[in-house]
A and B are shown apart, each in its own frame.
Chain A
Amino acid sequence: MKPINKMKIEFWSISANESFARVVAASFAAQLNPSINILADIRTAVSEAVTNAILHGYPDEQGIVQMECTLYPEHIEIVIQDFGKGIDDIEKARIPLYTSRPELERSGMGFTVMETFMDSLEVQSEPNKGTKVIMTKRLI
């Protein structure tokens, strides 16, 4: 299917950018006039993916997080990518309530929220090369 619009941004892996990223993604998706509930789901899923990139991609250093949104006639694809530490075991990371950072009071629900709130979720990761999260959501 042919895209009708596309945007790409990158920002530092600092936590203040979590709200920035989710507002930008929801604003971009709003071009197709989706419901408020759909926009809320996108905001939440993007917040989870960006938080994961910041916390787990770059636990000991500052790095770059990229977000690319592609708008299709009826859905949006959102790709969030870091170039940091990577995930050793993706299947384990996707288990509800699993967290590698319990000291931060993380609930381990990040991937579960992304899976539930979006229509599809794909996670690609390689140790020391980074992690790419690809999500889609039907907008109309």
Chain B
Amino acid sequence: MDIRFGKEGNTLIVYLDGEIDHHTSMMIRERIDSRFLMEPVKNILLDFSKVTFMDSAGIGLILGRKSKAASVGGDLKIRNPRPEIRKILKLSKIDSMIV
């Protein structure tokens, strides 16, 4: 899993490239959380354009980061998930977070 960061206004953009499962989610969580603390931002946008797989570990990851953003008055959104990832987001009732 490769992670790159960008910033637009008060939003941290996280470009994820690879697979999200229990194995990779721990590292992704640490990378996002430490960057979110460093940057003067309150929102998080997860760019899923290059995410090739996600299981329910990704749901925990997303909800945890949403909670971090909410703790500073911000929000979390997801963009460009593949159809199979959209399916698991919908099953978990968080597909409304897709922009």
Contacts and interface: CB of A to CB of B under 8 A. Distances in A.
A37 B25 CA distance: 23
B21 A19 contact: yes
A107 interface: yes
A91 interface: no
Contact of B91 (A16, A22, A51, A116): A116
Interface string A115-133: 0100000000000000000
A105 interface: yes
Contacts of A110: 56
A35 B19 CA distance: 20
Interface stretch (A2-10, A39-47, A58-66, A72-80): A39-47
A97 B56 CA distance: 10
B53 A55 contact: no
A107 B93 CA distance: 12
Contacts of B63: 105, 107
A18 B22 contact: yes
Given A37-B84, A51-B55, A109 B61 contact: no
Contact of A107 (B19, B21, B59, B83): B59
A94 B88 CA distance: 16
Chain A facing B: main interface SS: helix
Interface in B42-72: 53, 55-57, 59-61, 63-64
Interface in A48-105: 48, 51, 54-55, 104-105
Nearest to A39: B84
Contacts of A109: 56, 59, 88, 91-92
24 contacts: A15-B21, A15-B23, A16-B23, A18-B22, A19-B19, A19-B53, A22-B53, A43-B53, A44-B53, A48-B56, A51-B21, A51-B22, A51-B55, A54-B22, A105-B25, A105-B64, A106-B56, A107-B56, A107-B60, A107-B63, A109-B56, A109-B91, A109-B92, A113-B88
